[in-house]
Amino acid sequence: MVVLYYIAKPLINITYRIFFRKVYFSNREAIPKDRSILFAVNHPTAFLDPIFVASFIGPSTSFLLRGDMFQKPFVIFLLKQLKNIPIYRARDGMANLKKNKSTFEYVYTLLKDGKHVLVLAEGETKHEKRLRTIQKGTARIVTGLDELHPGTKLCILPLAVNYTDSHQFRSEFMAQVGTPILVEEYLNPNKENPRRAVKQMTDEITRQLREMVVHIEDDDFAPIVNRVLDFHRNDRNKVLLPAYSTSGVALDTEMKITKNINKCEENDKAALRKKVEQYDALLKKNDLNDVGLARPKFYSILNTLILILGIPVFIIGYLNNYISLTLGKNVADSKTKKIEFHSSVRFGVILGSYFFLFSIIMLILLIIGNWYWVGILCLMPVMGFLSLIYGDLFMRWNAARKWNGVDSGERKKMEVLRGEIIEETI
């Protein structure tokens, strides 16, 4: 009985809305309810990609996870409790490769019984805004299932995950569901040629994910693209709440801007780089943040009053968050060697440490029978969340305050440069 999965599911969902300033999940209504699903997901981080699907989609989902993670007994227990299934690669040795037979048999049974299984379709993780080659393994699961259990009502469902900066706490997360790929439409016409069915399904997964994954073609130009995307986000993000949205506008905008820049000629890219660097140099010279230019009205009497009145809430919430947030950052900084694992470890430590401390304190209070403090403790997570919102508001307010104090001549230079960058990339 995988009890831990069902305990972790709502906690992960909540932690997503805290770890990220904004979570966008669009086209969720396209998820079929009448057949088993094989999710095909891209893979820019270690664990955040699959656990998002598990925590934001109703039915339980099992995951195919690289087998070298299944080594120590406690880790194996933990991973299996969270519905991870080991899949071994050639680099893991022939002895381990033989274990894949039982893995696929188990996967086929899950799908035959109407369950959901997730495959990280690129086959490896890399911290970049790019769709890498989609492996044929996802489609081969379909043909393997058809051999053993023909007629299983199944679809492949591409699902794209995007991060404004997966390495950064309080960044943004954007996910989108694609169109269900009904496997019978590929299997039935290719009964005598399953390889063709595999290729066609893989091509369709690739086509759909390309339309949903922010893809920067030029690695050397990626910092400039990301900076331009920052400018557009600052224009777009007018409100801090809600923390969760089903709108696809944010992702569509990021896709459009990135595609426009990808299509630029080299001389246009060089001109754009020069303008971005000039603009950033002016920001640095005047000790400014782009948010201040994008949202100068955040420096207002109302926001100033909110910040003053909210100081007690911020202090209480900050103290509530301090141990978990500090521990999460320190552990991730000291223990992770690959950037792809950094946010995943940080996320996990924040969630685990906060839940542990909260549970211990709650247990003590329940034993003592002090119901007044039990009620206070139940309010603390809310205060912690509000302190993060306070921090976001203060950052914008302070940036706008600084912007409003800059010399008009300097402001004009920055406004002109920024306006040209926005206009040329939209």
Q: Residue 239 carries which side chain, given as an amino acid letter?
A: V
- Per-residue pLDDT of 89-137, as tens digits, reads 777 777 778 889 999 999 999 999 999 999 999 998 999 999 999 999 9
From the centroid of its chain, how far is CA 231?
A: 20
Q: What is the pLDDT of residue 33?
A: 93
Torsion of the alpha carbons at 282, 283, 288 and 294, rounded to the nearest 10: 110
Q: Which residue matches tokens 């831990």?
A: 4
Domains with residue ranges and CATH for the chain: 3-215 (3.40.1130.10), 220-286+409-425 (no CATH), 301-405 (no CATH)
Asked if residues 24 and 245 have their Cβ atoms less than 8 Å apart, the reply is yes
Asked if residues 169 and 231 have their Cβ atoms less than 8 Å apart, the reply is no
Q: What is the pLDDT of residue 13?
A: 96
Q: Which residue matches tokens 């690669």?
A: 89
Q: What is the pLDDT of residue 251?
A: 97
* Residue 1 pLDDT exceeds 60: no
- Per-residue pLDDT of 30-48, as tens digits, reads 999 999 999 999 999 989 9
Q: Which residue matches tokens 């893995």?
A: 103
- Per-residue pLDDT of 302-332, as tens digits, reads 999 999 999 999 999 999 999 999 999 999 9
Neighbours of 231 (CB within 10 A): 20
Nearest residue to 236 via CA among 256, 225, 255, 250: 250
Q: Residue 380 carries which side chain, given as an amino acid letter?
A: M
Cα 12 to Cα 223: distance, rounded to the nearest angstrom: 30
Residue 71's pLDDT band (boundaries 50, 70, 90)?
A: confident
Percent of the chain beyond pLDDT 70?
Answer: 100
Instruction: Considering only CA atoms, give the Rg of the chain.
Output: 24
| Main-chain dihedrals φ then ψ at residue 114, nearest 5 degrees | 85, 15
> 24 - beta bridge partners?
174, 245
* Residue 148 pLDDT exceeds 70: yes
Cα 34 to Cα 31: distance, rounded to the nearest angstrom: 9
